[in-house]
Amino acid sequence: MSEDQTQSTSGEFERQPVPKGSLLGFKSFIGMYAGEHCAGTELMIGPLFVAAGVSAFDLIFGLLLGNLLAVLSWMFICAPIATHSRLTLYYHLEKICGRKLVTLYNLANGVMFCFLAGSMITVSATAVGVCVNFPMPGLTDIMPNSIGWVLAVLGVGVLISIVAACGYNTVSKFANIASPWMVLVFLVFGVVALRQFMLATDTPVNSLESLWHLASTEIWKGGDPLPGQVKFTFWHVTFFAWFCNMAMHIGMSDLSVFRFAKKSWYAVATAAGMYVGHFMAWIAASLLYSYQLRVDPTDTDVLPGPMAFRAAGYAGLLCVVIAGWTTANPTIYRAGLAFQAIVPRMPRFSVTLATGLLATLAGMFPGIAMKLLGFVAIYGMILMPMGAVIFVDFYLLRRFGMQSNYAELSRKSFNWAAGLTWFVTLGTCVTLVKFTALQALLADSLGIQLLPGFSGVQIYFVSLPGWFVAAGLYIILSKIYQNKVHK
Amino acid sequence: MKQALQIISLIALCLTIFPALLFFAGQMELDAVKWLMLAATAVWFIATPLWMGREEQSQQAAE
């Protein structure tokens, strides 16, 4: 997003509704979202789809549908509440949940941001490996695999952390400048890789039909995933595209952004981010990886630096560094802000620097970036229940005869109804994901067979039933909690 | 001056994408594409900061 705006506005109206004079026009949101969603991590996600054995139909149509669902979630779930209340997510949550529960939410949010920033540092560090010869991590590596890799991540991470701590504004301005160029370089990756496929397979592309034939028989052939990867179908791609920003739309993080929108329909601007970053950029990055596998099927490493260098030379390499850097920077800054809410007396510089170093440490473990599809799904799942709490509080509680913004009204610092909703929903989701292992454990130790034939729900899908569990729980628990407090 | 810089930035963006399109059409070698892109990148990052965001800065200074 336009980090300038986040920065300049985060210091204003933090505890009051945004006044009419400070509202932003539609164009601001288009630039904001198109820039934010063309990030370093797109260079990991596209290749990981190929590693997951995705087919052309599943990828293209899954992304079209999933991104549409994401845009609709912003338009009809997040933005209407944002333009009505015009409060930041944190202040909105504080009114509902109380200060202590919001602090816990901040901690969870900050930790997730750290891991995400870590994977962005990982992406940037793969560019170092093109210029300096050291063993880089493979697709199945979880732990750091060489001293050279650790030093590369450390160098990149420390630089990013220092800049995030002292020069946030400069980098955010630089990110805005780099954004249009970066989008075009991503497009170049796709165009060059497609031509390379045409040459390698001796297949001319002169119609949509011939393009589709090449795509489905050579580029995204489907079939078995690479070892250690989960097989991705149409529904995996759809749900991943829908939920990879779940924390922002259904999880309501972007209340803080759309509180500045004059109208809730401005959230349609998120389509710019989805169809540029999460459609074009993912497809382009997946083309790079697919071509790498075509040239050498044993070379399964997902390393954005070398892939970009082969397609676009030093400009491509620069794009990898800048894409990772400009997106890790605000992510570290946001994580720092979340942590600072927990330790308000610590200077922002120290908190951001420490956060950056934590992200650097996370970046040394390639397992996070190599398992990014799963990590992003976990990220959405962890923050989703609070989005459901805000949705129910806004639309439903008063209809059921209860009070909304209950923590503020009752002067509670920890709304147990909201807290339990969060914890129980997460417990339910984890149980559903780990159901097979849990079933085996119960069968072995107690001889109990729970729901024979049911093998659980994969992490990519679990947040959908999870949202309904959270919404239902919050209504029931609020009924009990609000009655108990009033007695 | 600002308009001239904006035109230079636009040319740089065109030079970033067009060589790749020529490569796609079989009209240019990949090595040439890479060097042209690098030149376009340099031009973009030299010219664009001279105008992009400057209006906001001058407005803020005036306030």
Residue A55, SS3 per DSSP: strand
pLDDT (mean) for A115-121: 92
| Residues A101, A92: Cα–Cα separation, whole Å | 12
Task: Write out the two tokens for B35.
Answer: 């060097």
Residue A445 reports pLDDT greater than 90: no
Mean pLDDT is lowest, of A48-62, A185-199, A318-332, for: A318-332
How far away is chain B from the Cα of A4, in angstroms, using its nearest Cα?
10
Write out residues 6-45 of B within 8 Å (CB-CB) of A. Answer: 12-13, 16-17, 20-21, 23-24, 26, 30-31, 33-35, 37-38, 40-41, 44-45
Q: What is the pLDDT of residue B57?
A: 57
Residue A422 reports pLDDT greater than 80: yes
Over residues B7-32, the pLDDT tens digits come to 999 999 999 999 999 999 999 999 99
Residue A349 reports pLDDT greater than 90: no
If you write DSSP's letter for every residue of A278-335 in order, what string do you get?
A: IIIIHHHHHHHHHHHHHH-TT-----HHHHHHHHHHHHHHHHHHHHHHHHHHHHHHHH
Provide, as residue numbers in chain A, all residues whose Cβ is less than 8 Å from the Cβ of B40.
315
On whether any CB of chain A is under 8 Å from the CB of B48, the answer is yes
Residue A459, SS3 per DSSP: coil
pLDDT (mean) for A235-255: 94
On whether any CB of chain A is under 8 Å from the CB of B49, the answer is yes
pLDDT (mean) for A181-200: 96
Residue A4 reports pLDDT greater than 50: no
pLDDT (mean) for A409-430: 95
Q: Do A177 and B45 touch (CB under 8 A)?
A: yes
| Residues A163, A469: Cα–Cα separation, whole Å | 42
| Residues A5, A260: Cα–Cα separation, whole Å | 10
Kindly indicate the confidence band of residue A12, based on its pLDDT and cuts at 50, 70 and 90: low
* C-alpha angle A412-A102-A365 in degrees, rounded to nearest 5: 155
On whether any CB of chain B is under 8 Å from the CB of A349, the answer is no
Q: Do B37 and A177 touch (CB under 8 A)?
A: no
pLDDT (mean) for A176-192: 94
Kindly indicate the confidence band of residue A2, based on its pLDDT and cuts at 50, 70 and 90: very low
Q: Which of B13, B38, B53 sits opposite A314 (nearest CB)?
A: B38
Q: What is the ipTM of this complex?
A: 0.92
Q: What is the pLDDT of residue A336?
A: 83
pLDDT (mean) for A165-190: 86
* Mean pLDDT rounded to a whole number for chain A: 90
